[in-house]
Structure 1
Amino acid sequence: MITVNAMGDNCPIPVIKTKKAMQALTGPETIEVLVDNEIAVQNVTKMAESSGGAVKSEKIADKEYKVTIQMNGAPETVSEGEETCMPDARDNTVVVINSDRMGSGNDELGKVLIKGFIFAITQLDTLPKTMLFYNGGATLTTEGSDSLEDLKSLEAQGVQILTCGTCLDYYGLKEKLVVGTVTNMYSIVETMAGAGKIIRP
C-alpha cells in the first residue's frame, strides 16, 4: 500500500502527486490518496481511471476523503502536462430511487438491474447533485446493500445521498444507515421541486 497525502493541497497538486506515485510503480500495487475536498476526489478519480486504475472513494469525515486506486503496474501511457483542474462534475439533476429493484417482472433480475443502474451513475461524466431514497429504496443505503461501495464513491465526489427517515423507521433500519444522511418528506419535496432534471430508474 502506497499512501499519497494530499490533504490541504490545491488542484492540481493531488493529481500530480498521484500521477508520480503511479509512474514509480514496478508491479501491482494499491495507492491510497487522502484529500480534503470533493473536487480533488473527482479529478484524481478521472485521472486514475484514464490510466487504467480500478478506483474506489469514500468520505471518511468532514473534509476528509480517501481515494483507493488498484493498479497492475505503472500506466503504459501517462500524459504529461495535462493536470488540469476540472470544474465540479455535478449538475442540478436529482436521482429518485423508490425501490430496491428496477422495473417489474422478475424480482431477482430487478435487484441486479438496480445495482447496475447505481454503478452506471458512478461512470457519468456529469454526476447528479442529489440521490433520494425512499420506501423500498431506503434499504439500498443500509447494511447489507450491494450498492454501498458505489454510493460511498458518489458521496465522496459530492453527490448528496438522502434517505427517508420515516422509511428507515418503518423497516427498522434507522441504526443501520451506512452512507449519506436521513431526510424528511419536506426536504424530499423541496429537493425534487428545485431539480433541473429528475431521473427515476
Structure 2
Amino acid sequence: MIKVDSMGDVCPVPIVKTKNAIREMDGAGELEIFVDNETSVQNLTKMARQKGYGVDSSKLGAARYRVHMTLTEDQVADMKTAPAAEEVCDVTRKTGGTVVAISAGTMGSGSEELGKILMKSFLFALSQQEELPEYILCYNGGAYLTCEGSDSLEDLKNMEAAGVKIITCGTCADFYKIKDRVQVGTIGNMYEIVEKMMQASDVIRP
C-alpha cells in the first residue's frame, strides 16, 4: 500500500500528490493519504468518486485524517496515460461560459464603505441580466458574500435558483472560520476554482 503524506498541505496539493502517487503504482492497488483538515478529505473523496475509485475515510485524531483509496489495474493505467496538462486544464479549450471571480467583499480600491456599496450594486445588477454567468467563484474576503448576514445573499440565491453555480473556497471558509455560515452554493477547492477559470470563455473580476 502506498502512503501519501499531505499533512500541512492545502488544496490542490493533496490531489496533485495523490495523482502522482497513482502514476507510480504498478497495477491495481491501494493508497492511504494523510491530511490535517476535513476540506482535503472532502476534496480527495470527491475526486475518487468521480473517477470510480473505492474510497473511505476516517479521523485518526486532532487534525489528522486518513483517506483510503482502492484502484483497479485499468484505473491506474488510465491515470498513467492521462496527459500531465490534466492538472491545470488546457488553456486552449475554452468550453465553459462566463465566470465571475470575487476575491473581496468590496469592489475597487479606495473607500471600503463605498466598495461594499459597489459590490452589492454589482451583484444586484448581475442578477438582473438576461444572460447570467455560469459560475460565481468566491474566495478570500469574497467568501463572506455567501454567508449568513451578507447584504448580497438574496441576489446570490436568486441567481443560484436561475441555474448559476456558486462555489465558495473551502480553504478560505476554514481560515475565516465561516464554513457553517455559508448559505448559498457549495464549498469547493482551489483545484475546482482554477479549473472553472481555465475553462471559462470569459472571467470577470469586479
Gapped runs of 5+ residues in structure 1?
A: 1-90
Structure number with greater Rg is 2
Q: How far, CA to CA, are the matches of 1:154 and 1:146 in structure 2?
A: 14
Partner SS state of residue 95, structure 1: strand
2:195 aligns with 190
Alignment match of 2:144 (pick from 139, 151, 166): 139
2:104 aligns with 99
Q: How far, CA to CA, are the matches of 1:124 and 1:135 in structure 2?
A: 26
Letter in structure 2 aligned against 1:197: D
1:24 aligns with none
CA distances 1:113-170 after superposition (whole Å, capped 9, x unpaired): 0000000111111110000000000000001100010000000000000000000001
Q: Does 1:164 align with 2:169?
A: yes
Partner SS state of residue 101, structure 1: coil
CA RMSD, Structure 1 to Structure 2 (Å): 0.8
Describe how 1:44-193 pairs up with structure 2 within 5 A: 92-193=97-198
CA distances 1:63-100 after superposition (whole Å, capped 9, x unpaired): xxxxxxxxxxxxxxxxxxxxxxxxxxxx7000000000
Please identify runs of 4+ aligned residues in structure 1 that moved more than 3 A: none
TM-score by length of 2: 0.53
Q: How far, CA to CA, are the matches of 1:156 and 1:128 in structure 2?
A: 13
Higher helix share: 2
How many residues get paired?
111
TM-score by length of 1: 0.55
Identity %: 59
Letter in structure 2 aligned against 1:110: G
Q: How far, CA to CA, are the matches of 1:147 and 1:196 in structure 2?
A: 25
Gapped runs of 5+ residues in structure 2?
A: 1-95
Q: How far, CA to CA, are the matches of 1:179 and 1:125 in structure 2?
A: 21
Q: How far, CA to CA, are the matches of 2:153 and 2:176 in structure 1?
A: 18
Letter in structure 2 aligned against 1:119: F
